[in-house]
Amino acid sequence: MTGRDSPDTHRRNTPEPRPEPAARTESRWPMAAAVAASAALTLLLPDDLRLGPRWALPLAEGLLLVALVSGDPGRISRRSAILRSVAVVLVVVLAGSAIWSTARLIDDIIHGGAETNSADALLLVGGSVWISTVLAFSLLYFELDSGGPAARAHHMPPTPALAFPQQLSPELNAPHWRPRYVDYLYLAFTNSTALSPTDVMPLAPWAKIVMTVQSVLSLMILGLVIARAVNVLA
């Protein structure tokens, strides 16, 4: 029998659209805590190791962080070009401050700065600079990988810039897995201690360059600070 299908029949034969998977968001507070810790460490540094006046960097970092939290409070989910720009500026400020402090510390060790005459003071300053570097690069990875946390919450690219074990090993691959800030903090820590990739592989050129820069900075901090401290103690 021929004839047009009724509207009810057409609706029954038309497949229902699949609902999009819910965004797998994460809290902003671990990232905010890392920024606050980095700002606090900046206040502990001697004046010649800071980029600008004592209050300048913590104030700038605090204002940028407030803008991020206000624009996307609680869990990170809002995809916004403005918020993305603010986040990138924040991590660039943190990374630039860490690199500046490292360069100044190395210069002080070579030319005999005030803090290099005491092993206790040198280890305190060197440890603060090293931790600041780890935090800054963890936030850099966190913000640049796969378009940032808001983009990752909605969609993971087929080829990420940083490949975690859950993405490389099928037997470990949990459905809809997303890297969190703690994963990037662990990456920054291991890259600063092993001075090479451990379980996270850089795939994008920028990731390889950034991990190389971090390893070189960490090598200079650890090597020169420890050598100078041993020399002072001896």
Inside any domain, residue 221: yes
Confidence at residue 232, expressed as pLDDT on a 0 to 100 scale: 72
Q: Which two tokens stand for residue 112?
A: 């005999």
Domain with 149 in it = 26-233
Give helix 29-44 / helix 119-144 axis angle, nearest 10°. 150
Cα 225 from chain centroid (whole Å): 24
What does the alpha-carbon distance between residue 82 and residue 60 come to, in Å, rounded to a whole number?
17
Express each pLDDT in 38-96 by its tens digit: 999 988 888 888 887 888 888 999 999 999 888 888 788 777 888 889 999 999 999 99
Q: Is residue 2 part of a domain?
A: no
User: How much is the pLDDT for 139?
Assistant: 95
Assign 13 a pLDDT band (cuts: 50, 70, 90): low
Q: Please, what is the angle between helix 81-111 and helix 29-44, to 10°?
A: 30
Domain count, the chain: 1
Residue 210's pLDDT is 94
Amino acid letter at 69? V
The C-alpha torsion from 161 through 165 and 169 to 172, rounded to 10°, is: -130
Full-model pTM = 0.84
Detail the DSSP E strand segments found in the chain.
26-27, 75-76, 162-163, 201-202
Domain assignment present for residue 55? The answer is yes
Flag whether 170 is in a domain.
yes
Within a domain: 7: no
> Is 93 contained in some domain?
yes
Please state whether beta strands 162-163 and 201-202 pair in parallel, antiparallel, or not at all (unpaired).
antiparallel
Spell out a b/e string for 44-56, using b for 16 or more CB atoms within 10 Å of the CB, else e: ebbeebbbeeeee
Domain membership of residue 39 (yes or no) is yes
Who's near 98: CB < 8 A, 6+ residues apart? 38, 129, 132, 133, 135, 136, 137, 217
- Residue-wise pLDDT tens digits, 91-141: 999 999 999 999 988 888 888 777 777 788 888 888 899 999 999 999 999
Task: Compute φ and ψ for 163, nearest 5 degrees.
Answer: -100, 115
Is 193 within a domain?
yes
Give the count of beta carbons closer than 10 Å to the beta carbon of residue 173: 13
